[in-house]
Amino acid sequence: MAYDAAAELKRVTDYYNQDPLQKRFSALVTGETNAGKTYLLRTARMPIHLDSFDPGGTKCLRDLIRCESNPTGQIIADTRWEDDDPFEPKAFAEWMRAIDIRIQLGYFKQFGTYCLDSATTFGEAVMAYGLGNKSRAGETPQHNHDYMPQKTYMTNYIRKLMKLPCDFILTGHLREIEELVRVDTKTGIKTKNTKYRFYTVGQAVVTIPLLFDEIYVIIGREGREGPKREMLIDSLGTYVARSRLKSKGLLNSIEEPDIKLLLKKAGFDTTNKPKIV
């Protein structure tokens, strides 16, 4: 059969038009402890499924979480992953099983947003799982044998989550990095440059952010009425942030921490999915 260039062009175009990933929002949201990363979920598309590996991290969302006292809450928080025993690690293995089952069931079709909170504690659970499989639970990881499998597990499952039929938010902490710029030969005074980077294992500091459309950094500034939080969506230097939504010039480098507001300004759908009843 002769190659039909017009048919191939139509096939590629049709695939793009029907590809749900092109209309879905994915973001790596970083910041220091208590910066408001989890709190940002209040502004995401509802309903939300939240897998929390951060002990107590969901408390800022209590009024929205579905529970016995709030049966109509539109955030479904799975907090069993928070309580992992490093000497008998089970959280990551059970989470993998749960994710695979949920994907097979089409569970995530009913949600507007999925959140994995956070990359730091998630990574610790992955490491504990790897050490447990080697009969070394609770021991210090060995660089050559333990960190590469940890990075591979984390990256592979984040890739799998990228295919969910809903928005995807991964939260993460920042690591402070000090670089020596110069030393005054007369006084001995050192000049240092401080940077903050996504805190994770090895080369995953590069590979994981590359999977996301958006990389945001939430920072706090002192204001007249107390701390004010801002979100960097485009920045190089002290912090690293970028936004593909900003390409049309509709967004500023610093925006209010509000996911729906950003989507609306960029011309994306902000509609919640039907309430879970």
pLDDT by 10-residue block (mean), the chain, 277 residues: 77 81 86 92 98 95 96 97 95 97 97 96 95 89 85 95 96 88 76 86 90 94 79 91 87 95 92 93
Q: What is the reported pLDDT for 225?
A: 76
* Residue 7 is assigned to a structural domain of this protein: no
Cα separations in angstroms, 156 against 60, 150, 162: 29, 10, 10
Instruction: Pick the closest to residue 35 from 177, 227, 167, 198 (CA basis).
Output: 227
- pLDDT for residue 265: 93
178: CATH = 3.40.50
Q: Is residue 109 part of a domain?
A: yes
Spatial CB neighbours of 228, under 8 Å, sequence gap ≥ 6:
220, 221, 222
Give pLDDT, residue 214. Answer: 96
Backbone φ and ψ of 210, nearest 5°: -65, -20
Residue 30: inside a domain:
yes
CA distance 157 to 162: 9
Cβ of 21: how many Cβ atoms within 10 Å? 13
- Is 17 part of a structural domain of the chain? no
Burial class of residue 56 in the structure, from the number of CB atoms within 10 Å of its CB (0-12 exposed, 13-18 middle, 19+ buried): exposed
Question: Tokens 């790897």 — which residue?
Answer: 130
In this predicted structure, what is the pLDDT of residue 9? Answer: 85
Whether 118 is in a domain gets the answer yes
Q: Does the residue 78 lie in any domain? A: yes
Domain membership flag for residue 2: no
What pLDDT is stored for residue 186 in this prediction?
78
The predicted structure's pLDDT at residue 43? 97
Cβ pair 164, 48 in contact under 8 A: no
In a domain, 8, yes or no: no
Encode burial over 230-252: b for 16+ CB neighbours within 10 A, e otherwise: ebbbbbeeebbbbbebbeeeebe
pLDDT at position 129, please? 95
Q: What's the total number of domains in the chain?
A: 1
Domain range for 238 is 25-265
Helix (H, G, I), strand (E, B) or coil at 79: coil
